[in-house]
Amino acid sequence: MLVAEDDENLGAVLARGLREQGYVVDLVPDGETAASYLRFYQYEVAVLDWRMPRLSGLDLLQRLRGGLGVGGGAGHNRAIPVLMLTARDDPADRIAGLDAGADDYLVKPFDFGELLARLRALQRRPPSVQAPRLAIGAVEFDPVAREVLVRGERPAFTVTELGILEILMRRSPGVADRRSIAQHVWDNEADAFGSNTIDVHLARLRAKLAGAGVRIETVRGVGYRITALPT
């Protein structure tokens, strides 16, 4: 999930709360940075603040829907569900946001439970406009249900394990570097990046995926990647 919010405190609260719910979160402070992330990474849903420096959420949304100005490989995000956050509550503002391509609109201050409910509703959109489940080998990850099937069964995964598995599967066959994993899964990346915490969770994840036709390999000095075993 991409969250673009220039209020540092609110952004940190949102990212922490969403991660506690099992989401992998990219938190960015402005519209231009959000545009660069949309260029390179595919997301299930985006939360955009209306007022941001460098590029407003509204301008970014217009570019994204029109296929202009975001550039590169952003086509895979052109139909991404977008929830707009704003302090602007006039009907004209709501109309402008929806006409620009927002799928939903939430006025600050808001209840976090309502935000979660609205995000779940956006993720239940028809498959024709919703990103598919992630699948590698006999592992299938449902980003909406936050559920993993391994050979048709549902092993128990912790929220942290789900977060690591999701970023590995989204980056596959590329490498997810250690810093990215720490930033996406932990509120304080230093808690994981400078210790063996990531390695401990990776070891548990490997054990739970044994016999699933996948390999989680360590790329020395860089990070990790998940790939399907040859059949």
pLDDT digits (tens, 9 = 90+) for 159-177: 889 989 988 998 888 888 8
Residue ranges with strand state E in 113-222: 134-136, 139-142, 147-150, 176-177, 214-219
Vertex 183: Cα angle to 182 and 186 (nearest 5): 65
- Which tokens hold the place of 160? 């942290």
Res. 12: pLDDT tops 90: yes
Nearest CA among 83, 77, 123, 80 for reference residue 102: 83
> Mean pLDDT over residues 153-160, rounded?
89
pTM higher than the cut 0.75:
no
Rounded-to-integer distance, Cα 86 and Cα 84, Å: 7
- The distance between the two most distant Cα atoms of the chain, rounded to a whole number of Å, is 58
Tell the burial category of 119 from Cβ atoms under 10 Å away from its Cβ (0-12, 13-18, 19+). buried
Per-residue model confidence as pLDDT tens digits over 115-135: 999 998 888 766 444 456 789
C-alpha–C-alpha distance, residues 69 and 35, integer Å: 8
Q: For the segment 66-116, what is each residue's pLDDT rounded down to a tens digit?
A: 754 454 444 556 778 899 998 877 777 777 888 788 888 888 889 999 999
Gap between the Cα atoms of 95 and 92, Å rounded: 5
How do residues 188-217 score in pLDDT, each as one tens digit? Answer: 655 566 668 888 999 999 999 999 999 999
